[in-house]
Amino acid sequence: MSNLNTDSGILIGERLCLDFANTVSWHNGDNPNERLLNYEKLVEWSRHAEILSIPQEKQLLEKANRYSDQAEKTLGEAIELREAIFRLFRSIANGLKTDTLDLAILNNYLTKAYSLAEIIPKDGNFALTFQKGENELDCMLWPIVQSAIDLLLSGNLNRVKQCEGEPCGWLFFDSSRNKSRRWCSMADCGNREKARRYYKKKSSQK
């Protein structure tokens, strides 16, 4: 069993939306391991992925205490969004047609995200922000939506891949020069797969 896959801190997707999709381990198997078990875990992950600042994290957790129903609803939305993102990019990674229902879910969140979006000057350039909604319990969802849209429109979809280790299921953006990345992590699924092949070969030689 993988240490990486059970560590909530690992970010291997190279794109925010893919790291978010990877908040379930063993997504391709019969026993997926859900890491967003409650709203606090969602906030913790978002802080780790640098969507939220430390003061924002504190403020959201305080607010979630006061509005627990709303926090619970946000968690449900986060998981709905994540599963749609996961299925969309899994289809893309495997050369399959994307489901219109998944696109409809993403488009629904896109509408909300863009109703909050603002272009602001930043470091001599401009940046897209979602500051208008930054005090809301669901504020972490909008940069994730933006990341999914950016990736879908990037023209680089042939670099979206799914780890070949079964039943890992993790998605990543392959930024290697010759598009040769096959694993979420060489130290994890890569090594396990190599060991599996080695023993298979050995036992067939007997």
State in angstroms the smallest separation of the CB of 98 from Zn ion.
22
**Residue 5 C-beta: closest distance to Zn ion, Å:** 7
Say which amino acid occupies 78.
A
Q: Confirm if 42 and 36 have CB atoms less than 8 A apart.
A: yes
Contact (Cβ atoms closer than 8 angstroms) between residue 189 and residue 163: yes
- List strand residue ranges (DSSP E) for 26-133, in order: 33-34, 118-122, 125-129
Smallest gap from residue 89 Cβ to Zn ion (A): 15
For Zn ion, give the closer residue by CB, 76 or 167: 167
How does DSSP classify residue 118? E
Q: Return the number of the residue (112 or 182) whose C-beta is nearest Zn ion.
A: 182
Handedness of CA 144, 146, 152, 156 (dihedral sign): negative
Please state the closest distance from residue 2 (CB atom) to Zn ion, in A.
7
Task: Show the tokens assigned to 5.
Answer: 């896959």
Nearer to Zn ion by Cβ, of 145 and 168: the residue is 168
Q: Which is nearer to Zn ion, 14 or 40 (CB)?
A: 14
Per CB under 5 A, residues contacting Zn ion are 163, 165, 168, 170, 184, 189
Q: Kindly report whether the peptide bond that precedes residue 167 is cis, defined as omega within 30 degrees of 0.
A: yes
| DSSP run (H or E) holding 168 | none
User: Taking the complex as a whole, how short is the minimal distance between the CB of residue 93 and Zn ion, in angstroms?
Assistant: 12
Q: Is the peptide bond before 32 cis (omega within 30 degrees of 0)?
A: no
User: Whose Cβ is closer to Zn ion: residue 157's or residue 186's?
Assistant: 186
